[in-house]
Structures are given as structure tokens and as C-alpha cells.
Amino acid sequence: MCSLRLYPAQLQHTMSQRSERRGIHVDQSELLCKKGCGYYGNAAWQGLCSKCWREEYQRARQRQIQEDWALAEKLQREEDAAAYASSHGSQATPRSQTSQTPPSLAPFSKFEEKKTNEKTRKVTTVKKFFSPSSRAAPKKDSHEAKSHSPSFPRQLSVDSERVSREFVEFLKNLQKPGREIHKQSRLFIESMAMKKDLGADELSECVQDFYQNMSDRLMSHFKGSSEKVERVMDQVEKYIMTRLYKSVFCPETTDDEKKDLATQHRIRALHWVTIQMLCVPMDEENPEVADSVVKAITDVIEMDSRRVPRDKLACITSCSKHIFNAIRVTKGEPASADDFLPALIYIVLKANPPRLHSNIQYITRFCTPSRLMAGEDGYYFTNLCCAVAFIEKLDAQSLNLSPEDFERHMCGQVSPRGPGEAAPWPHAGPALSQLRRNLELLSSLETRQQQVMDGAHSLQAELSSWQESVGREVQEILEKYPLEIKPHASAIDADNADSDLLPPPLQPQVFAG
Amino acid sequence: MTAMRVDVKVVMLGKESVGKTSLVERYVHHRFLVGPYQNTIGAAFVAKAINIGEKMITLGIWDTAGSERYEAMSRIYYRGARAAIVCYDLTDSSSFLRAKFWVKELQTFEEHCKIYLCGTKNDLIEADRSMRQVDYHDVQDFAEEIGAHHFETSSKTGNNVDELFIKVALDFSNSALELMRDEKGVDLGHKKDSYFYACCHH
């Protein structure tokens, strides 16, 4: 905004020149600043001159800032009151962040002022616990505002907020160490936000180091009660990974996405693999087994929608339990690994879970190590890894097929339902027969339509021939009985008065008299 | 199967139908499977706590698929295992050859894993000596050579089964004192990178 203010006299000169040339006539009063300061205005400044516009703008802005402030203060007060009422106020963390967003538009000095303002107020309340978090919040906010990246949303998602709240709720029971845990976790999340560009392995290392440090400290605090440590670590993992999920799941620095697609294509190409080829002891005709299979498929697909590694693992475990149930119902005895692994492979092939590779990588990188290595969840996860490895390497031999058969299957030359083989999909049985019935119906409809069309054609031909014959008949009759128009006998020709036909003219009778 | 804290990972390796599952089943539930039963839904993973002195040690026992088609994947299974029970069928010499294969694999890739050789179906031998195809002394020699322990068990009678698993727990308890001091129980730190990649990545 360079303040080039022109006096009317100056401008008039140039204007008059121009208007002479172009023939534009503008009333001079329309060009003046609306404030009436005597300078010219500009449409871009709402008809004001630059100086008046700037004044006006500043005023509006100031008003806006004041309003925002008032709003923020009000929210804060409400929040404090609510916190007091419940004597906890766990909601303070996420809410205070949002309420601080508007003032961040204000000049920075003001912002600082507000921050200190808030700090002092906070300390006087019982919410000492939250002071590190709320103090940290604006710092993070301003950082995010500066490096506005699309991959890191400024607003916390509903999920994150809920998890944060639960985390705080949980830590409250721990009192003093809880505060420390919360602070450390927050600091860690902030530090991770700066490390977005690191490779996946480095990110994993950071998180694992954090887990290790945290659990070491907890271990010494709880004096070796590993159960307590584990319980806290579960919450820490949940909180951290929910917050970091977006930036560390399938990061751009890796080729995870490419591999996801490759796995997906691979599984799709193997759609023809049957339960018999894999020697899976599952009888899908049995409704209970079929039900378990469907549940297992649902669970393994569900994995992708979870954020916390532990929750993802829980999906795998649940899927595995359904498989065990299916095998137990079929065989009448508990499943061993010899039954379980092929069944899992079959389920993965049928489910084609989304982003399978990414999910496995994510769990491997960010799960608390003890769970992955030894426990039950770890066992099922390992089986899933095996299943994926098997699917990637699967060849003719692993299905007891000849290489030629395998190739033909892969090219889609042989349908999954080979002769003598049972349908691979029991649910597809009725659907397929329905399909066939429909096809038959369609073809019979087609022949009937053809008949109708033929009938219509012959009718048309008949009609035209009838028309012809009628025409011909008419013609014949016309020829046989030509129309002769005979002159009318009684016609009187006025011009031919002498005609014989006319009675003799009346002669005047002379009466002698 | 509850979410018990597991201290030590024990993998069961061995050819199909050598009786890995029966061995675990006998040890954990003290029974031998004849005919159908419905009590447990799966015997693939079990956690079992043992008292060793004053300590409670929980064994997480991992059953593995023995079929050759999954051989390439077995490495994923035994990663991080503290003990491996390599089973072979006393009445089937080919099963012992396969056992040797796993021993070699373990020695190459999992040096912290203690190996236990376990000949199964001892009851069949006792009923008929001519059934034996794997000589006791041959295996004993092999075990000494590789620094492994050697057991002959019968899941049917329960012979030697408890002894085997108690030995596993005892050894772990003793070695844990030295090994766990500097490794903090689970040393995923330097292994996690290879956890999945080594086998699934090609």
C-alpha cells in the first residue's frame, strides 16, 4: 500500500486528458474519498483514500482482536469453573489449545502478554498438574501455524482429544509421577513433530528409546513391579501412538505404500486358491464355521482402522481366535500350528486386508517390544507375518500343483471351480445358480422377443401387401368400369339459343282487335 | 489362555506329526489326546507358569507349522526365542534329519537360543523295541556336540514330559541372571529392524 494520494486538481488534469481521448465521463464526486478528506478514494479500499482506509482497517482489526480475546477469556473462565466443579478439569488440555488459537493472530507481543497472563492465573489454581501441558500448548500451536503442513492437522481430531483426555484421567491416579509421565510424553510428541523428515527406522528408534527410558524409570519407581509398569506403558503407547499416527504410519520416506499395493495385487492374483489347495481343515458348509470365517475376515480387515499398535494386535488376535474356533468345530479337536497357519493364510487371501504391509511395519516399529516378542499377541502377529511371507513367495510347489497348472491359474485360464472340485465359495453356490437361472430367463426372453419381432415384421409385410392388393383391386375395377361423364341433358346453353332442344320461343300472339 | 506376562519364549520345532502339539497338550493339560475333545480352542500358543525356587517363570510355548512348505518362514517363528524344543519321532528316522536341519538353523541365526532335542513317542518303542529308528546314543553324541540337552518322551504316558519343560525353565532361570542383567529381558533394540524384514523381504 504505497500512499500515493492525488489532489483532485492534479488528477483532474490527467483525467481530463484521458476523458478527452477515450470519452469516459466520470463525475468527480464519485472519485473522492468517502470520508470527505478531499483526497481521491479507491474502490479497492472501499472508496476511501489510502490513509483513511488504513485507519479504518486498523480500527476493525483491533475490534476483532478484542472480541477474540474476550471470547478466549470467557472460554477459559468457563473451563476453569468446570474444572473446579469436578475438581479435576482434565478437559483443560485440548480445550485450552483451541481457545488460544484466535489470539495467535494478534501481534506477537500481545500474544506473549496473554501467555504470561494465563500462566500466572494457572498457577494459582489447583491445576498445577496441567501447567506444563498448557504452557507447552501455545508453543506448539505457534510452531504449527508457522510451518503449516497439510500432513499435520492443526486441529486435533476427535480421536486424539478423547485419547488425551483418557490419558490424563488415567495418570491422575498416579499423582506426582503421573505429572512427570504426562510432561515427558508431551515433550516427546513435540520433539517428534520436528523429526517428521526422518526415515522410518529412525522414527522407530526414537519411539522405542522413549519406551525403554520410560519403562526403566517406571521400573525403578514401582520398585520392579512389572505389572504396574506394563499398565502404564500401555497407556503411554496408546497416547503417543494415537497422536503420532498420521505422521508415522506409512511415512512418505519409505516404500511401504508401494509394497502395500504389490501385496494387494498379489493377493488379488491369487483369488483362485482354494481351501483344499492349502489343506485347511475348515468345513465352510457348516454354518458355525462359515460364521467364524466371516468374523475372522472382518477382524483382520478391521486392523487397518485402529491407530494404536496394541489395538491392531488385538484385531489379529481376535481374528486368530475365530480361526481356531472354525478349526475346532470342523475337526473336533483344538487346532495346532499345522492347521492354524494355512487357515490364516486362507483368511488373508480371502480378506485382502487394506495396507497390510504398512500395518505390519507399523506394529513392528512402534509396538512395545515385550508384547511383540513373547506374548500371545506376538504369536499371532508372527503367524500373520509368516502368512504374508508365504503369500509373497507362494508357488506351484507350495500348493501341490504342477507349474503348468499354477501358471494357468495365474493367467486366469482356469476358473477356481475346476471339474470335480467343490465350489470354493459356499455362499457363491446359491448366488451362482441364481445367476444361471437369470441367464436362462434372459435367453428365453430374447427368443420370445425375437418371435414378437418376427410377428411384427410379418404383420407389417401383410399390411403392405394388403394395401397393394386393395390398390390393385381398385385399379382393376376402375379399369373395368371407366368413369364416363355424360353431358347433362337438361343443360341449357344460353349462347346457343337456336338449339332444337329448346322449345320454340313463344311467339307473340296478336289479337286483332 | 489368558494375557499372562510371558518371560520366556519357547518354540516347538519339528516335522509334521512328530507330536509337538501332543507334547504341549500333555504338559499343559496333563492329558493325551485320543478322540475328539472341545475344552480348548487352540493349542498353538500356551502360556504356563512354573515355580522355580522362589521365582515364577512363565513359559510362552509357541507351536510352529512343521510342514516343509512353511520351512522358509520358520525363521520368523524362532526369532527371539530363549529355548527351542526340536522334536523328532523315535520311530521315524527322516524326522531326525529334519531336526538336524533346524538345529543348524538355530545355531546360525539364534545363538542365544538353547536347544533341547526331544525324541517323541517313546511308548511305542517300549511296546516294541524294533520300532526304534533313531538310536539313543547317536542323538546323545549329537546333543553333546551341539551343547544341547536330550530327552526321550512319551506324551501318551507323560514320561519325561514335565522333566523336559522344568529343565527349560531352570536353565532359563539360571542363564537369566547373567544374560538378563545387561539385556533387560527383551533385547528388541538391535533386532527389531530385522524382525520382519529378514524373512518377508526378498
DSSP string, B96-132: HHHHHHHHHHHHHH-TT-EEEEEEE-HHHHHH-GGG-
Cβ contacts of residue A233 below 8 Å, gap of 6+?
Answer: A211, A214, A215, A218, A368
Across the range A353-370, mean pLDDT stands at 90
- CATH assignment at residue B138: 3.40.50.300
A66-80, A161-175, A183-197, A258-272 — most confident range: A258-272
Of all residues in chain A, the one with the smallest CA distance to B194 is: A364
Across the range A118-144, mean pLDDT stands at 41
SS3 A240: helix
Exposure pattern of A211-230 as b/e (b: 16+ CB <10 Å)? bbebbeebbebbeeebeebb
Q: Taking CB atoms and an 8 Å cutoff, what residues of chain B touch A201?
A: 193
Q: Please say if the pLDDT value at position B148 is more than 90.
A: yes
Is residue B201 assigned to a domain? no
A5 — pLDDT class (breaks 50, 70, 90): low
Is residue B30 assigned to a domain? yes
Which of A18-32, A122-136, B10-24, B160-174 is least confident?
A122-136
Q: Grid cell 472508496 — which residue? A: A47
Asked if B106 contacts B115 with a C-beta cutoff of 8 angstroms, the reply is yes
The number of distinct structural domains making up chain B is 1
Is residue B169 assigned to a domain? yes
Nearest to A373 among B1, B36, B186 (CB): B186
How many Å apart are CA A184 and CA A449, to the nearest integer?
78
Q: Is A310 on the interface with B (CB under 8 A)?
A: no
Write down the pLDDT at residue A195.
82
SS3 A99: helix
Nearest to B80 among A342, A373, A380 (CB): A373
Q: Chain A closest CA to B137's CA: distance in Å?
A: 30
How many Å apart are CA A270 and CA A220, to the nearest integer?
52
Average pLDDT over chain B, rounded to whole?
A: 81
A162 — pLDDT class (breaks 50, 70, 90): confident
Nearest to A341 among B41, B47, B65 (CB): B65
Angle between helices A337-351 and A376-393 (to 10 degrees): 60
Strand-pair category, B45-52 with B55-63: antiparallel
Which of A35-49, A202-216, A438-452, B152-166 is least confident?
A35-49
- Cβ contact, residue pair A379, B45, below 8 Å: yes
Q: Which three cell numbers stand for residue A480?
A: 373395368
* Runs of H (alpha helix) within chain B: 20-29, 74-78, 93-109, 122-127, 136-146, 161-183, 192-200
Closest CA to A426 of A330, A341, A344, A334: A330
Write down the pLDDT at residue A493.
59
Q: Taking CB atoms and an 8 Å cutoff, what residues of chain B touch A259?
A: none
Write down the pLDDT at residue A489.
62
- Cβ contact, residue pair A338, B1, below 8 Å: no
Share of residues in chain A with pLDDT > 90 (%):
27
Phi, psi of B45 (to 5 degrees): -130, 130
Q: Please say if the pLDDT value at position A23 is more than 70.
A: no
Cβ contacts of residue B28 below 8 Å, gap of 6+?
Answer: B43, B46, B48, B61
Phi, psi of B48 (to 5 degrees): -140, 125
- Note which residues in 313-332 of chain A have CB less than 8 A from chain B: 320-321, 324-325, 327-328, 331-332
Quick: pLDDT tens for B10-25. Answer: 999 998 888 888 898 8
Is residue B25 assigned to a domain? yes
Angle between helices B20-29 and A337-351 (to 10 degrees): 110
Residues found in chain B: 202
How many Å apart are CA A170 and CA A181, to the nearest integer?
11
Asked if B161 contacts B155 with a C-beta cutoff of 8 angstroms, the reply is yes
Asked if B152 contacts B89 with a C-beta cutoff of 8 angstroms, the reply is no
Q: Residue B54 is inside which H or E element, if any?
A: none
Closest CA to A251 of A198, A290, A213: A198
A31 — pLDDT class (breaks 50, 70, 90): confident
Q: What is the largest CA-CA distance in chain A?
A: 178
Of all residues in chain B, the one with the smallest CA distance to A391 is: B200
Quick: pLDDT tens for A347-360. Answer: 999 999 999 999 99
Q: Is A346 on the interface with B (CB under 8 A)?
A: no
Higher pLDDT: A28 or A257? It is A257
Q: Which three cell numbers stand for residue A120?
A: 500466572
Q: Chain B closest CA to A151's CA: distance in Å?
A: 26
A171 — pLDDT class (breaks 50, 70, 90): confident
A and B: number of Cβ contacts within 8 A:
146
Q: Chain A closest CA to B117's CA: distance in Å?
A: 19
Cβ contacts of residue B46 below 8 Å, gap of 6+?
Answer: B1, B24, B28, B60, B61
A42-46, A143-147, A497-501 — most confident range: A42-46
Write down the pLDDT at residue A427.
58
Is residue B149 assigned to a domain? yes
Across the range A172-190, mean pLDDT stands at 85
Any idea what DSSP says for residue A399? G
Quick: pLDDT tens for B56-108. Answer: 888 899 998 888 888 888 888 888 888 999 999 999 999 999 999 999 999 99
- Cβ contact, residue pair B45, A336, below 8 Å: no
Higher pLDDT: A487 or A363? It is A363
Closest CA to A248 of A213, A209, A199, A190: A199
Q: Chain A closest CA to B40's CA: distance in Å?
A: 6
Q: Is A262 on the interface with B (CB under 8 A)?
A: no
Q: Please say if the pLDDT value at position A308 is more than 60.
A: yes
Is residue B202 assigned to a domain? no
Nearest to B76 among A212, A340, A382 (CB): A382
How many Å apart are CA A301 and CA A284, to the nearest integer?
20
Q: Is A403 on the interface with B (CB under 8 A)?
A: no
Q: Residue A58 is inside which H or E element, if any?
A: helix A50-86
Write down the pLDDT at residue A251.
84
Asked if A247 contacts A152 with a C-beta cutoff of 8 angstroms, the reply is yes
Asked if A348 contacts A300 with a C-beta cutoff of 8 angstroms, the reply is yes
Residues found in chain A: 513
Q: Give the amino acid at B60.
A: G
- Cβ contact, residue pair B41, A227, below 8 Å: no
Asked if A35 contacts A49 with a C-beta cutoff of 8 angstroms, the reply is yes
Kindly list the distances between the CA atom of residue A434 and the CA atoms of A417, A430, A441, B121, in Å, as whole numbers in the listed order. Answer: 17, 6, 10, 53
Is residue B185 assigned to a domain? yes
> For testing the chain B interface, which of A333, A365, A395, A398 should be mutated: the one with the most B CBs within 10 Å?
A333
Q: Which three cell numbers stand for residue A191?
A: 520433539
Domain that holds residue B178: 4-196
Q: Taking CB atoms and an 8 Å cutoff, what residues of chain B touch A326?
A: none
Give the count of beta carbons closer than 10 Å to the beta carbon of residue B88: 28
Q: Residue B84 is inside which H or E element, if any?
A: strand B83-89
